[in-house]
Amino acid sequence: MTRLDVIKMIGDVITDIDVARGSLLPDDPNRHQLDDLRILLDDRQRKLSKAAFDDTTQQFQDSAKKLQAVNDQIRGSIQQVNKIVTVLSNIKTFVDAVTSLMTAIGPFV
């Protein structure tokens, strides 16, 4: 998996969050949580896109595989706002996996 693949994967989750947010009223506290998680993911994605690092290292590949596994587990579930607690938990798990990937590739991110 390449850095571009990871960036696109994060972007796909951000898009799913945007769709889910649109299903909630603006004053819904769950929407505010989705907003916060979206901002956090967007920031992580931006940092990854600007950072210079080797995406062929074993650390990156291992972390990218873990991120892909989390993505596979949550795929399609983010837009199920009738299960908002699960949605928020899944997004937090994905954010944690992105953060773990960034930690694995180094302090320059």
Read off the pLDDT of residues 31-89 as tens digits, 9 standing for 90 and up: 999 999 999 999 999 999 998 888 999 999 999 999 999 999 898 888 787 888 899 99
Rounded CA separation 28/33 (Å):
9
Residue pair 105/59 in contact by the 8 Å Cβ criterion: yes
Q: b vs e for 28-51, b when ≥16 Cβ sit within 10 Å of the residue's Cβ?
A: eebbebbeebbeebeebbeebeee
Q: What is the pLDDT of residue 60?
A: 93
Please, what is the end-to-end C-alpha distance for the chain in angstroms? Answer: 18
Rounded CA separation 96/109 (Å):
15
